[in-house]
Amino acid sequence: MCQYLPKQSTMREWWVQVGLLCIPLMAVYVHMPPPKLSFAVRRWQHAGKTFTFRGNKIFYIDTPGTLGNTDIVLLLHGYPASSYDWSKIWHQLTQHFIRVIALDFLGFGLSDKPLPHNYSIFEQASVVEALVVELGLANQRINLVAHDYGDTVALELVYRRDQNRTGHLNIKSLCLSNGGLFPEVNYPRLLQRLLKDSTYLAPVLLRIGNYMFFNNGMREVFGPYTKPTNAELWNMWVSIRYNDGHLVLDSLLQYINQRIKHRERWVGALTTTSVPLHLIYGPMDPVNPHPEFIELYKKLVKRSTVTVLNEYIGHYPQLEDPIGFLAAYLKFIHSF
């Protein structure tokens, strides 16, 4: 017996040592400096500007298009990414519009990410209205293109327009794409559900959440033949980490609860508005699955035209099939 005692206590000490060592390592990891912006994202940043909304800086890009066009297009990105999501169709859009504009919502991309902050779709709609005033376009008719989270912001903008609220956007048309328009057929990813609902787990997950974690989660929502490259995923990740954005991902995710709470307001706006509507849909989308989503959309939004892309296109149509996305969008724009 005796001869085992020292050994056991050495063992115990060994584990304690490892445990103690883990604490500073964890601390270093959690406070690890954010990765540097990639070359592509830095170039995007240099092409844009910022304006101040209620004390926070909002990043936007406003590119002059080709003379001879009269239409303006404003693009609203999804969760958890940024205006960079539109980079693959940007150049082509400038050939068909007089101005191409996109912003990073508060808490996303290259914009400020205040913490603590109660992020909401209503506030993001106000950010868009403020940007339009900032650019001197308050009286201009604007074509909106939206994806995912941006779809819900767009519906709030449509609601305000239809209610003739002060400061509302003068919306000429709206093109939606893969987004949780209907809470009843929307299936957020497990990680999204954990982050949005668990007060205690979320801060831990966010701090240990790393690129591998993000990479796997993101790849899942793309179609099998159009997965993003590592460079593309890295561009998304550095934009999220910029300004410690990984720490606000759970607060931003409250939009899923807001969609449920305000379903009547937003689905109501979608089904009753007179704004010309189009939907571009990648059907292999685990978040808004085929055919439930599209069947419900067609049933409820009778006035809208619809483009269903190739059966293998997933949740990110503008990245997975930029040519198909653009063709569908231009056809819509020329139809009214």
Binding interface with ligand NAG (CB under 6 A) = 116-118, 164
C-beta closer to ligand NAG: residue 117 or 265: 117
Provide, rounded to whole angstroms, the least separation between the CB of residue 180 and ligand NAG: 23
Chain mean position to CA 157: 16
Helix, coil or strand: residue 60: strand
The C-alpha angle with vertex 145 and arms to 140 and 151, in degrees rounded to 5, equals: 115
Euclidean distance between CA atoms 61 and 255, whole angstroms: 24
Euclidean distance between CA atoms 239 and 37, whole angstroms: 7
Beta-strand relationship, 56-64 and 99-103: antiparallel
Provide, rounded to whole angstroms, the least separation between the CB of residue 116 and ligand NAG: 4
Provide, rounded to whole angstroms, the least separation between the CB of residue 53 and ligand NAG: 15
C-beta closer to ligand NAG: residue 26 or 115: 115
The C-alpha angle with vertex 132 and arms to 269 and 257, in degrees rounded to 5, equals: 40
Assess contact for 151 and 177: CB atoms under 8 A: yes
Provide, rounded to whole angstroms, the least separation between the CB of residue 44 and ligand NAG: 29
Provide, rounded to whole angstroms, the least separation between the CB of residue 168 and ligand NAG: 9
C-beta closer to ligand NAG: residue 169 or 279: 169
C-beta closer to ligand NAG: residue 106 or 313: 106
Element (H, E) at 64: strand 56-64
C-beta closer to ligand NAG: residue 163 or 335: 163
